[in-house]
Amino acid sequence: MSRADQSLPDGVVTHTGQDRRLLVFYALVSAVLLTLMGGLAWQQLLRADVHDARERQQGLRRVLVPGPRGRIFDREGRLLAGSRPRFAVTLALDELGREFRAEYQAVRQNFRAAGEKDVPTTAQLEQIARTSVVRRYLESLDSILGRQTRLDTAGLQAHFSEQSLLPYVLLNDLTPEEYARLLEQLPVNSPMQVFASSVREYPFARLAAHTLGYVSAGVSREVPEDFPGEKLATFQLKDMAGRDGLEYKFEEQLMGGVGGVIFRVTPSGYRINPPRVKLAPTRGRDLVTSLDADLQAAAESGLDDLTGAAVALDVRTGEVLVLASSPNYNLQDFTPRLGSAASDDITARGAWFNRAVTGFYPPGSTFKLLTSIAALRAGVITPEQLMDEPCDGRIRIGNTWKTCDNGDGHHGAISLSAAIAESCDVFFYQLGLQTQPERIAAEARRFHLASRPAIELPNLSPKNDRSIIPEPAWFLRTHGRKISDGDTANIAIGQGDVLVTPLTMACFAASLARDEIFTQPTLLHDPGAPAQHHERTGLTPEQRTALLDGMEGCTMSTSTVIGTARILTAPSLRIPGLQIAGKTGTAQVKDRKNIAWFICFAPRKNPQIAIAVAIEGQEAGETFAGGAYAAPVAQKILRKWSEKQARAAATAGPPMFTLPLPAPAP
């Protein structure tokens, strides 16, 4: 046996098991050893974290995950934009080093064995090896899922050269069934793992597309400064960011807070659980818009294949209930990213523009309301007074004959109310000339028609606000001539150079409803929002009654007059029990498409909803009356609105606008 054994002093043997003092000594030694081992156990099992933290930083990796984006709800708590998980299978390339090497050797051997003269370079061989290994994994996936997938070799190479330490996405957009199959059939420790990311989801697809806006993926978030491990190898998953509409305007609020984990990896690159540091990403805050999905849907179904916009406001608070623009696009096409074909299609249809706020149209006859107010306030006319010259279909102004396009010359001598109701141009030519252009322009500015109202949408700076309310100085500046009577007559009926947006006119309608000069629109819903209050219009009760009589007459006329009002006389378009004060309009633009207008508020007493609709004509010069095209859209909105009102009253449950909303994330 070993020398050590043989050289032992004999004394040890003679004392075996006999000396009690020695036994005590052994017990002591054992106790000490046990204590030491206990200590080792303690360190190994319970304090492992502390020791691991002291390990080399190279063994640590940091993975940053963007927090989920906040959701957007309508005023009744319906989800307009949310986030949907998207399942993918990823392949951890950093775990395959050994496999790549083995494959590389095999490939090289094959080339040599085949005796080919031009053996590929090392880099090429590596590439072949990688591709075939990854393809093998993809094939194993395919056999589980029973599908055929083509390996994106170029994408794989790009991934390798740029971010080989991040998992490579083998398959994306798994169905729940595929996801379930992979969960069950992939080994728990396989380098292929199911991975979830989030994509934006728009349950209503096209609804309020322009207003909601869209997001684009591939954005790197800034890492918060207090996030530990800034020197570690970091992998950051890309986030998405708003690019238009509310998604863009409220980016700061909607975007989630970056979270992440720092975990240790074994020398071979395997991740060791649990992670050292784990910071949960935070969900972005939710946004509750003032839109009403029902009304918005009604408006969009009304607009359908027309080109135009519809805006509806809550008269009391100025909250925007509807902000629709047509043509629009499907927001679902933007997730995960918009294809070039879909993008070209949107461009071709001219669907990028939000016509409700970027469509500048002459307001046509709807402007007559403003002319009336200017005249009434200037004392040019009284409610009972008839116009000097009765309407026989045309009137000579300056050197030209101007026609009355409505009523075929049957208006005769009428009062203001009737002129509004039947939209008599001849009446308003004269009224405009009597009121003077300066007064009309001043009144329009007083009603904030000269500029687009501010609203929570991006790219609406005063610079691209093309609203125009012409006045003598403007004429001199722009056309280099004095304003003529013909110009004034045109302005009086909202033609010529006057340009406003549908949103402006909706605000105007809401202001009229409250008998005030301004309404500040907003896209944010506040259940406890106070009523807006601005300067009163200054009309006497009689004057206001005359104005509203005219507006109601416009919508309720039972006379056989033809023109702007005729469509609304059809019984099918009436809304029982609802008194609507409105004004149709048709802006005839020379050599350009006509614009059909309708603005209104309802009910006449205690108004609650104000609407403006503008529709572009399809072809230049065609007859395109507001009553025929724009009013039905408003009517659809109103019908839906009154239905909802009736239902709310019937259920007598919680009031309509204070339905429980999901609590916004803190």
Partner 1 sequence: MRFSVPSSRAGDRVAAVFPVRLLNHISGQARPFFTFGVVALAWLLVPAAVKRFTRAALFEAQAPVMVTVERARELREYFVLRSRPTGELIAAGKETANALAAYEVGVGRLEQLEADNTRLRALLGMTPGAGWRQEHATVVERDLSAWWQQLVIDKGANHGVPLDAPVVFAGGVVGRVREVRAMTAVVALVSDPGVRFAVVVEGDPRPISYTGGDNPAFGPARGTLEFVPTDITVTGGAPHRLLTSGKGGVFPGGLPVGLLTHVEPSADGLFQTGEVLLPAALSALDEVTVLVPDATAAGLFVPPATDPKP
Partner 2 sequence: MSRGKRQTLALLLGNLILCVVVALANHTMADWQLRLWPGGLLVATAALLAGPGAGAAAVFVAGLALDATAPVPFGTHAFVLLGAQTVFYALRTRLMRNATPVRVAVAVLAGVLSWLGLAAVAKAAGLTSAGAGRLLLELAATSVMTLLIAPWFFALQCRLLYLAQVGLRAEERRFD
Of 30, 164, 459, 464, the one binding partner 2 (CB under 8 A) is 30
Sheet containing 593-602: give its strands across: 320-326, 307-314, 609-620, 593-602, 581-587
Q: Specify the residue, 199 or 546, whose C-beta has the smaller distance to partner 1.
A: 199
Q: 609 touches which of partner 2, partner 1, none (CB within 5 to 8 A by kind)?
A: none
Find tokens 């005249």 and name the residue. 375
Q: 33 touches which of partner 2, partner 1, none (CB within 5 to 8 A by kind)?
A: partner 2
Nearest distance in Å: CB 145, partner 1: 6
Nearest distance in Å: CB 40, partner 2: 6
Interhelix angle 541-556/368-378, rounded to 10 degrees, is 160
Q: Specify the residue, 37 or 106, whose C-beta has the smaller distance to partner 2.
A: 37
Q: 146 touches which of partner 1, partner 2, none (CB within 5 to 8 A by kind)?
A: partner 1
Q: Specify the residue, 39 or 85, whose C-beta has the smaller distance to partner 1.
A: 85
Piece of 40-48, 122-130, 421-429, 501-509 that binds partner 2 (CB under 8 A)? 40-48
Q: Specify the residue, 37 or 205, whose C-beta has the smaller distance to partner 2.
A: 37
Nearest distance in Å: CB 10, partner 1: 19
Q: Specify the residue, 1 or 114, whose C-beta has the smaller distance to partner 2.
A: 1
Is residue 413 within the footprint of partner 2 (CB under 8 A)? Answer: no
Q: 662 touches which of partner 2, partner 1, none (CB within 5 to 8 A by kind)?
A: none
Of 39, 41, 398, 542, the one binding partner 2 (CB under 8 A) is 41
User: Distances from the Cα of 310 to the Cαs of 168, 295, 504, in angstroms?
Assistant: 46, 11, 11
* CB half-sphere exposure, 588, CA atoms < 13 A: 13
Is residue 92 within the footprint of partner 2 (CB under 8 A)? Answer: no
Is residue 23 within the footprint of partner 2 (CB under 8 A)? Answer: yes
Taking CB under 8 A as the criterion, which residues in 45-74 touch partner 2?
45-46, 48
Nearest distance in Å: CB 122, partner 2: 32
Nearest distance in Å: CB 661, partner 1: 15
Three-state DSSP class for residue 121: coil
Interhelix angle 97-113/122-145, rounded to 10 degrees, is 110
Query: Which residues have CB under 8 Å from 509's CB, separation 6+?
Result: 313, 599, 600, 601, 610, 611, 612
Buried b or exposed e, range 228-265, using 16+ CB within 10 angstroms:
ebeebebebbebbbbbbbbbbbbbeebbbbbbbbbbbb
* Amino acid occupying residue 44: Q
DSSP 425-441: HHHHHHHHHHH-HHHHH
Q: What tokens does 591 get?
A: 């050599």
Piece of 8-16, 58-66, 325-333, 584-592 that binds partner 2 (CB under 8 A)? 8-16
Nearest distance in Å: CB 196, partner 1: 6
Nearest distance in Å: CB 186, partner 2: 16
Q: 299 touches which of partner 1, partner 2, none (CB within 5 to 8 A by kind)?
A: none
Taking CB under 8 A as the criterion, which residues in 173-192 touch partner 2?
189
Piece of 42-50, 353-361, 416-424, 536-544 that binds partner 2 (CB under 8 A)? 42-50
Q: 646 touches which of partner 2, partner 1, none (CB within 5 to 8 A by kind)?
A: none
According to DSSP, residue 569 is labeled G
Nearest distance in Å: CB 53, partner 2: 16
Of 15, 349, 466, 536, the one binding partner 2 (CB under 8 A) is 15
Q: How far apart are CA 329 and CA 351, in angstroms?
A: 7
Q: How far apart are CA 157 and CA 151, in angstroms?
A: 11
Q: How far is CA 135 from the centre of its chain?
A: 39
Q: Tell me which residues touch partner 1 (CB under 8 A).
A: 1-4, 65, 67-68, 83, 85, 144-148, 175-181, 183-189, 194, 196-198, 256, 259-261, 275, 278, 280-283
Q: How far apart are CA 167 and CA 90, in angstroms?
A: 5
- Are 226 and 55 contacting, i.e. CB atoms less than 8 angstroms apart? no
Q: How far apart are CA 521 and CA 502, in angstroms?
A: 12
Buried b or exposed e, range 546-584, using 16+ CB within 10 angstroms:
bbbbbbbbbbbbeeebbbbbbbbbeeebebeebebbbbb
Phi, psi at 612, each rounded to 5°:
-130, 135
The contact pattern for partner 2, residues 572-601, with x = CB under 8 A and - = no contact, is ------------------------------
* Amino acid occupying residue 579: Q
> Which run of H or E residues covers position 34?
helix 20-41
Nearest distance in Å: CB 65, partner 1: 5
Is residue 12 within the footprint of partner 2 (CB under 8 A)? Answer: yes
- How many helices, marked H, and strands, marked E, lie in the chain? 23, 18
- Are 402 and 489 contacting, i.e. CB atoms less than 8 angstroms apart? yes
The contact pattern for partner 2, residues 369-408, with x = CB under 8 A and - = no contact, is ----------------------------------------
Nearest distance in Å: CB 461, partner 2: 56
Q: How far is CA 318 from the centre of its chain?
A: 20
Per-residue three-class SS string for 217-257: EEECCCCCCCCCCCCCEEEECCEEEECCHHHHHCHHHHCCE
Q: Specify the residue, 655 or 660, whose C-beta has the smaller distance to partner 1.
A: 660
Of 35, 44, 149, 157, the one binding partner 2 (CB under 8 A) is 44
Q: How far apart are CA 19 and CA 11, in angstroms?
A: 12
Nearest distance in Å: CB 25, partner 2: 9
Alpha-helix runs per DSSP H in 447-603:
472-479, 485-492, 502-514, 541-556
Q: Specify the residue, 143 or 266, whose C-beta has the smaller distance to partner 2.
A: 266
Identify the CA nearest to 292 among candidates 226, 366, 349, 207.
207
Query: Which residues have CB under 8 Å from 234's CB, separation 6+?
Result: 61, 62, 63, 64, 223
Q: Specify the residue, 12 or 114, whose C-beta has the smaller distance to partner 2.
A: 12
Is residue 353 within the footprint of partner 2 (CB under 8 A)? Answer: no
Taking CB under 8 A as the criterion, which residues in 249-288 touch partner 2?
266, 270-273
Q: 649 touches which of partner 1, partner 2, none (CB within 5 to 8 A by kind)?
A: none
Q: 120 touches which of partner 2, partner 1, none (CB within 5 to 8 A by kind)?
A: none
Count of residues touching partner 2 (by CB under 8 A): 30
- Are 228 and 126 contacting, i.e. CB atoms less than 8 angstroms apart? no
Query: Which residues have CB under 8 Å from 244's CB, separation 6+?
Result: 210, 213, 214, 458
Q: What tokens does 593 get?
A: 């498409």
Q: Specify the residue, 7 or 121, whose C-beta has the smaller distance to partner 2.
A: 7
Q: Specify the residue, 29 or 280, whose C-beta has the smaller distance to partner 1.
A: 280
Beta bridge partners of 241: 216
Angle at CA of residue 134, ends 132 and 139, nearest 5° = 90
Q: 536 touches which of partner 2, partner 1, none (CB within 5 to 8 A by kind)?
A: none
Tell me which residues touch partner 2 (CB under 8 A). Answer: 1, 4-5, 8, 12-13, 15-17, 22-23, 26-27, 30, 33-34, 37-38, 40-41, 44-46, 48, 189, 266, 270-273
